[in-house]
Amino acid sequence: MPFYKTQRLNISRFVALLLITSIQLLVIGTFVSCSRTGTNRHGNTVHVKNISELTAAMAAAQPGDQLVMADGTWQDAVIDFNATATEAAPITLKAQTPGKVILTGSSKLTFSKPYLIADGLLFQNGIPASGNVIDFKTNHCRLTNTAVVDYNPPVSTQGYYWVFFSGSHNQVENCYFKGKNNNQPLIGNDQDDSRYNKVNHCYFKDIPYSNVNGREIFRIWGYGRSEELGDDGGFFTIEYNLFERAHGEGTEIISFKSNHNVARYNTIIATRGGITGRSGNYNTVEGNFILGQKEQGTSGIRMAGQGHKVLNNYIADVTGDGLTLMTGEYIEKDLTGNYKPILREGTPLGRVPSYGHVRNGMFAHNTFLNVSGTDMIIGSSYKASWNTSQRILIPESNTVANNLVVKAAPGGGIAVTTPTQDKTAPLDIFRFEPNTYEGNVIYRGTVAISPEPSGFRYADPQLTADAYNIFRPATNSPAADAGVRVVTATATNRKYDTGTPQAGIQRPLTPKDVGPAWMR
């Protein structure tokens, strides 16, 4: 055979052998246990059937991959989500069918590296062996389309969070939480190095009441917990969430204990407690619907500290008070020899106030409708537990403007009150700047401030209910376009109606607006 024909035959055999080998490798690749059955925009889709396969898949994952958990019950699946992703190409851990991957027993999820997403999981009827159910121990991660239902221990005194943030720039969105009955809050933010986390469009439902302190739905620690006035803070955002019979401890639904946080556009229905700025400064509570439905123990908003903005909230049918501004505690020195301060190491004086002094705040465009208690208390608990406690700092230099108060019946009680300062020694050394009252309208209630300041008008606001049973001033109402000009988070130098809603969300949220898509 000629030399050139021999060469041509060898080349043909080589090409055929290469083709066969490639086909064999392709076939083998389709049968590996963590099978890569397709590609997405950035990476591969990897299906896993058990925790061993998931652990291996996370170790081998590349940025952009999707790790798909098979439908079924995952018993005792302790997931350390530690795949290496990037901002441009996150890695997603998702259910094969949202809501049909059921994690139970001692199952838990920890985000350990940044840019990871968990999607469509259901935690149900379990209890973590240690730690919390879901932990964010890193930055820039997201939990979405997920539910935690009745994930409780056999005894309620065993405490853990259902979600805890100890990193920054993380998000929980469109999730559902039902039935937590044990100690510790449902969601918490660490007091160190946890900033700019966010929870939005979630549904908190049927959290049973227990008169045990520390069972808030949210507890947001951070800088400002000891009343620091610097620029740092928690920077936590809680927005567009629905709370329905989410009682917890029955006092604080949302508890801010740090600076620069926001609670806005949430709807709270028949839930004991209220939104609370327990400690910290410069927090914003805006555009929330608090609908008590006369449930025992319901209240509106309670604040302590400086520079807060409470704007455009609608508070109706609560059995407690509407807006409560606390009397602050004086800690500079012992005034009587009997003072017993709250001691805390690492603070300038070695002690902290039980409540911060409410100063330089803006409390405007809020509606209080059929509130059983007092609608606005400007200085609650003055001289409480005097003189082992020194709660004598009356709120000062605040603006209270364009608020609407409507009592349920004629002679409905006190709409607004503030304490009268005790000027006997040793309290005669204190001088408080006045608060500014402007454009407030009151119907069927009284102002218990002596002497009564200007800034209050008594008139029937002629409210009419809209399609969502939210009452607003009619066109010819004396509250229509009657607000004085104030600077708020949503408006500068223009008039609005007295009361709310003025801007932002215009109706209460419903279950169709929140929670996982697969539950709606």
Contact 388, 426 (CB under 8 A): no
pLDDT level of residue 12 (50, 70, 90 thresholds): very low
CA 318 distance to own-chain centroid: 21
Rounded to whole angstroms, the Cα distance separating 351 from 355 reads: 12
Evaluate if residue 292 carries a pLDDT over 60: yes
pLDDT in tens, 338-375: 999 999 999 999 999 999 999 999 999 999 999 999 99
3-state secondary structure 433-460: CCCEEECEEEECCEEECCCCCCCEEECC
**pLDDT at residue 10 tops 60:** no
- Whose tokens are 């809050």? That residue is 185
pLDDT > 60? residue 23: no
Are the C-beta atoms of 364 and 400 separated by less than 8 Å? yes
Can you tell me the distance from the alpha carbon of 162 to that of 124, in angstroms, rounded to the nearest whole number?
12
CA distance 409 to 406: 9
* pLDDT confidence of residue 501: 66
Domains of the chain: 34-519 (2.160.20.10)
Question: Do 172 and 148 contact (CB within 8 A), yes or no?
Answer: no
ω into residue 451 within 30 of 0, thus cis? yes
Q: Are 265 and 504 in contact (CB under 8 A)?
A: yes
User: How far is residue 36's CA from residue 407's CA, in Å, rounded to a whole number?
Assistant: 64
Per-residue pLDDT at 9: 40
In this structure, which amino acid lies at residue 9?
Answer: L
Q: Kindly report, residue by residue over 215-267, the tens digit of the pLDDT.
A: 999 999 999 999 999 999 999 999 999 999 999 999 999 999 999 999 999 99
The continuous run of DSSP H or E covering 73 comes out as strand 72-75
Q: Which residues contact 293 (CB under 8 A, 6 or more apart)?
A: 269, 270, 317
Q: What is the pLDDT of residues 321-338, one digit of tens each?
A: 999 999 999 999 999 999
